[in-house]
Structure 1
Amino acid sequence: MPGTDTTAETTAPDAPSHETAGVELRGVTKRFGDTVAVRELDLTVAPGEFFSMLGPSGSGKTTVLRMIAGFEDVTSGSILLDGQDVTAAAPFDRTVNTVFQDYALFPHMTIAENVAYGLKVRKTAKDEIARRVGESLEQVRLSHVADRLPHQLSGGQRQRIALARALILRPRVLLLDEPLGALDKQLREQMQIELKQIQREVGITFVFVTHDQEEALTLSDRIAVFNEGRVEQVGTPREVYEYPQTAFVASFLGVSNLIPAELARELAGADGAISVRPERVRLAAVDSTRAPDETSVVGTITETVYTGPATRYIVTTEFGLTIIAERHNDHAPNDTAPYRRGDTVRVYWHREHAALVP
């Protein structure tokens, strides 16, 4: 918030080191009265990592971020930063800074003055302030707007200035609470790429909160998927998408076809429930030939959804199970789609493309 200095100045690490965790939570629980917002959470974030906490509203991810920042007390458990226990430390005694969805820039100050504010509070020398403001604005590629006022900038530019204001204090960990949520889709996608590039350049730990699955997949080195105050799975974007460890992860992270254990056993000889992504499913004529490593089932297309790059087909199978297939629109724009609502088709997927859901 403007006027609130929440970061102790430190020297940024020269390069990420995984010998000591950048952020570590040990058995952290947070209660609000009778409501348990976070349950006995163990979580480790490596130095220099872009780590995202993904989940629906009320899953506990923002509460965890606020506890790391020191804005919320921990009911039980401990929080460590660079191996130091900071559970009881005040926000300004922690080597972190926070970027919020609300840019919170001072409207009467120039961009350079906004970025310099934290250093002025600390009575940093003027020549040092000027040098570091220049470096910070260069990092976010906005040196040319230093003399403008916040209202003269676009939403994306204001968010980058908020990022520069946080980075100028050289935190060891930067906490980002849905910072791109107020931007439109096109600008948000552009900012995702820029944010990742900035993180790589500065080399510090980013802990990012979002409910946007695509955003988490785009930005993260690793993702923790939250649900009802617990972490259901932690892994790289590829791991959590391709190999979901719970039905919640499979359904929340993108679109997935969840096939119950009994039917999966009958169709594919699987040892339990399986998840098959729509882009891994293909449709063909009912009398088409199945490859040796494929599973197939007959169904009727009950709906088609055109999304631009692809078309989704909703198929109700002979077992009463609904399967979603996605086909990339690689045909000419004026060509007729190969399948229509009401067509009877055979649904195929390769067995290796089915992930077992424990």
Structure 2
Amino acid sequence: MTKTQARERSRQTDQPSAGTVRLRNVTKTFGDTSAVHDLDLDVAAGEFVSMLGPSGSGKTTVLRMIAGFEEPTSGTIELGGVDVTNVPPYDRRVNTVFQDYALFPHLTIAENVGYGLKVRRVSKAERATRVQETLEKVRLGHVGDRLPNQLSGGQRQRIALARALILEPEVLLLDEPLGALDKQLREEMQIELKQIQRRVGITFIFVTHDQEEALTLSDRVAVFNNGKIEQVGTAREVYEHPQTDFVARFLGLSNLIPAETVGASGATVSIRPERVRLLTPDATVGDHEHALPGTVAEIVYTGPATRYVVDTDNGMRMIASVQNAHHPEQDELLQRGERVLAVWTADHASVVP
């Protein structure tokens, strides 16, 4: 059985295995403010799930309830099939990695990683063995005798991860752990984190407001908005087939077009900018293509691609993303004020229910 099949079986079985997470009708209020509304979520053992959403959408509150730092106002939380709704954090087989590394500056890396085992009174010999094994898992087996200030930001983040992993949790909760890193290091750490999760094989639940990060890391993404989950699915499912206007807009750029404009059923049609071509006004359009005439209103150079903002003649605004595959010295392919046809293939668009 493959890892994917095992996850699917875990989601479907009536006897959840260690590492599964199940939230049912979970609500959390703070005074008169409702942070989470009647939320359901299932996470399979060994799965990497990201909770993605803007600030204030409820994702961190849900993470804290799974960890036991907050109690739900109503609803239940199960870990491995056991109801832990009112169980304190220290009696749950979960661990949390925060954005702040919180390493002890006066302790060596090995002492930092082994601190939890020391509190649990694990013998010195076993502690040393497990510390070294865990450091190897995060590819930092050679830094055990160094101090935290002798490591880079990315290395310190991996040490914080190792400190959580050494306690062998069934579920690892990560609250925007890469948020303090610069863009290049953050992208490198995304790959590292995904590889570490595959090696250790435990359940990861990851909170982020970064859409690209969620798509890069996750087996599935839960998109949060106003204390509710708008959609759950694989990265491809939520990006290619958004189920609400919010998901279409939040998960990257999207052109949302009234369905009647293109003769489709439903309320709205979503077409991603990379699937919109800009042609000359007199270009021939195929039988299975849609076209809207308009004028280039703005040009945004982003490095790998150039975005063209087009004001269409029927009062809409379309964005087309064109890969910068031309010669570096070549001028822009189009200029502001130029007339164009915004064209896309009909089956490249998704109807938003």
1:132 to 2:127 alignment? no
**Is the 1:268–1:351 Cα contact (8 Å) retained in structure 2?**
no
Q: CA deviation at 1:127?
A: 1.4
- Counterpart of 1:9 in structure 2 is none
- Counterpart of 1:271 in structure 2 is 266
Deviation by residue 1:108-157 (Cα, 9 ceiling, x = unmatched): 00000000000000001111111100111000111111111111111110
Aligned equivalents of 1:145, 1:271: Cα separation in 2: 58
Q: Which residues in structure 2 correspond to 1:315-334 (within 5 Å)? A: 315-334=310-329
Q: CA deviation at 1:35?
A: 0.3
Aligned equivalents of 1:178, 1:350: Cα separation in 2: 37
Q: Which residues in structure 2 correspond to 1:91-170 (within 5 Å)? A: 91-170=89-168
- Counterpart of 2:32 in structure 1 is 34
- Counterpart of 1:295 in structure 2 is 290
Q: Which residues in structure 2 correspond to 1:174-213 (within 5 Å)? A: 174-213=172-211
Aligned equivalents of 1:75, 1:269: Cα separation in 2: 43
**Is the 1:298–1:318 Cα contact (8 Å) retained in structure 2?**
yes
Amino acid at match of 2:332: A
Aligned equivalents of 2:28, 2:277: Cα separation in 1: 45
Decide which of 339, 343, 350 is 2:338's aligned counterpart: 343
Q: CA deviation at 1:54?
A: 0.2
Aligned equivalents of 2:263, 2:340: Cα separation in 1: 18
TM-score calculated relative to the size of structure 1: 0.94
**Is the 1:304–1:312 Cα contact (8 Å) retained in structure 2?**
yes
Deviation by residue 1:66-103 (Cα, 9 ceiling, x = unmatched): 00000001100000000000001000100100000000
Q: Which residues in structure 2 correspond to 1:17-56 (within 5 Å)? A: 18=10, 19=13, 20=16, 22-56=20-54
Aligned equivalents of 1:324, 1:240: Cα separation in 2: 20
Q: Secondary structure at the match of 1:143?
A: coil
Q: CA deviation at 1:334?
A: 0.7
**Is the 2:266–2:352 Cα contact (8 Å) retained in structure 1?**
no
Gaps of 5+ in 2: 1-5
**Is the 1:268–1:295 Cα contact (8 Å) retained in structure 2?**
no
Aligned equivalents of 1:308, 1:66: Cα separation in 2: 38
Gaps of 5+ in 1: 1-14
Q: How many residues align?
A: 341
Amino acid at match of 1:267: V
Aligned equivalents of 1:184, 1:226: Cα separation in 2: 25
Aligned equivalents of 1:170, 1:73: Cα separation in 2: 24
Q: CA deviation at 1:271?
A: 3.3
Q: Secondary structure at the match of 1:209?
A: strand
Deviation by residue 1:318-356 (Cα, 9 ceiling, x = unmatched): 001000000000000011222111100001011111110
Aligned equivalents of 1:346, 1:204: Cα separation in 2: 50
- Counterpart of 1:280 in structure 2 is 275
Q: Which moved more, 1:16-25 or 1:244-253?
A: 16-25
Aligned equivalents of 2:192, 2:286: Cα separation in 1: 43
- Counterpart of 2:303 in structure 1 is 308
Aligned-residue CA RMSD (Å): 1.0
Q: Secondary structure at the match of 1:189?
A: helix
Aligned equivalents of 2:288, 2:111: Cα separation in 1: 64
Deviation by residue 1:204-260 (Cα, 9 ceiling, x = unmatched): 000000000000000000000000000000000000000000000000000000112
Q: Secondary structure at the match of 2:341?
A: strand
Q: Percent identity?
A: 68
- Counterpart of 2:86 in structure 1 is 88
Q: CA deviation at 1:265?
A: 1.4
Q: Which runs of 4+ in 1 moved over 3 A?
A: 268-271
Q: Which moved more, 1:141-150 or 1:169-178?
A: 141-150
Q: CA deviation at 1:269?
A: 3.3
Aligned equivalents of 1:269, 1:208: Cα separation in 2: 37
Amino acid at match of 2:97: V
Q: Secondary structure at the match of 1:283?
A: strand
Q: Secondary structure at the match of 2:142?
A: helix
